[in-house]
Amino acid sequence: MTDTSTHAPPAGEMGYEQARDELVAVVRRLEAGGSTLEESLALWERGEELAAVCRRRLEGARARLDAVLAEDGEGTADGTADEAAGDEGAADGAGAANGRE
């Protein structure tokens, strides 16, 4: 397979911003076209890795924020109160009420 990231570190070692920026570049290259099938597949795979890194970093940040808010008694980052934090149904309802899916 063609190496699309000759100078890029492994995706798992990247911070959020670095992974996001490379993901944007990968998407632009895919949208521009002109790549061989093999190159396109390699780009797609790299994009999937980068998206997973971004998702993990964001989930980690949300967990840290939730922990701090819970310590301060202010609820969680998704707007749920401390009492409802353990109730998944209540948390889903609060997210939907805030316009989030």
pTM above 0.85, yes or no: no
pLDDT band at 8 (very low <50, low <70, confident <90, very high): confident
CA quadruple 64, 47, 9, 13: dihedral, nearest 10? 20
The pLDDT assigned to 37 comes to 97
pLDDT tens digits, 31-84: 999 999 999 999 999 999 999 999 999 999 999 999 999 988 876 666 665 444
Residue 30 scores a pLDDT above 50? yes
